[in-house]
Amino acid sequence: METENFVEEYLKRLEISYNPEKSDKENLIDLHISHLTHIPFETFDLIDLKELDISPKYIFNRLIKEKRGGVCFQLNGSFEMLLKNLKYNVQMIPCCVFDIGRKVFGDINDHLALFVTLNDGTELLCDVGFSRNFLTPLFLKVDCVQFATNGFFRLTKIADGLFLMVERGYLVEKNGDEDFMLPSSPPETKIVDIGRFITLVLKC
């Protein structure tokens, strides 16, 4: 969305400044944290409206001018607009919710996340659409435990490498060694198709 004061108003809403002295990664982390802690996940539109409005003008007025919250499509859609205005290479990722109990996938349009490639080629997964997700972006790296400020996460390949599963857990000590443990009953899993034959499964 192009408005004269788009970035200025957005950053004011996030109560943050964009520091050109910082790296694009450091600024992205600051923006990601501020978005999750200043703009809430809110589902009133799903109750009040027959059709979800995801037009740039509506999202900007709702989240920034009216200081409201929104659902994942509005939150990540708005964040994508901000990142593009700040010259980030960002791509929307269509997602669906996976029911662990029934082991079935929902519709591919259930959720939306963001795939960001930094100037140095670093690939990151961003998601400001669910308040309980990782607070800082995740590196798109397999089989390593990542600390994302509010928890530990790990991406592993499943289904013959067609999927990447992002698991949230914690570190425990066993016989002097640290091991990555997962909650016994994670509430849900998301599947994220990034359009290049890789899918991300996120256990929240």
Residue 113 pairs in a beta bridge with 93
In a domain, 160, yes or no: yes
Q: What is the pLDDT of residue 114?
A: 92
Helix (H) or strand (E) holding 70: none
Whichever domain contains 23, its CATH number is 3.30.2140.20
The structural domain count of the chain equals 1
Q: Give the distance, in angstroms, between the CA of residue 142 and the centroid of all CA atoms in the same chain.
A: 18
**Which has the higher per-residue pLDDT, 80 or 154?**
80
149: left (phi over 0), alpha (psi -120 to 50) or beta: left
Number of H helices, E strands in the chain: 5, 11
Nearest one of 17, 13, 53 to 35, comparing CA atoms: 13
Q: Give the pTM.
A: 0.81
Bridge partner list, 153? 146, 168
User: Are the CB atoms for 194 and 91 separated by under 8 Å?
Assistant: yes
pLDDT for 197: 34
Q: Give the span between the Cα atoms of 7 and 191, in whole angstroms.
A: 31
pLDDT digits 0-9 by tens, 159-173: 776 666 777 776 676
Q: Which residue has the higher pLDDT, 84 or 186?
A: 84
Q: Report if residue 94 sits inside a domain.
A: yes
Residue 20 domain-assigned (yes or no) = yes
What tokens does 181 get?
Answer: 């443990």
Structural domain of 97? 6-203
SS3 breakdown of the chain: % helix, strand, coil, rounded to 5?
25, 30, 40
| Residue 165 resides in a domain | yes
Residue 99 has pLDDT above 80, yes or no: no
Angle at 146 between CA 144 and CA 148, to 5 degrees: 165
**pLDDT score recorded for residue 71:** 86
In a domain, 46, yes or no: yes
1 in a domain, yes or no? no
- Mean pLDDT confidence for 38-55: 77
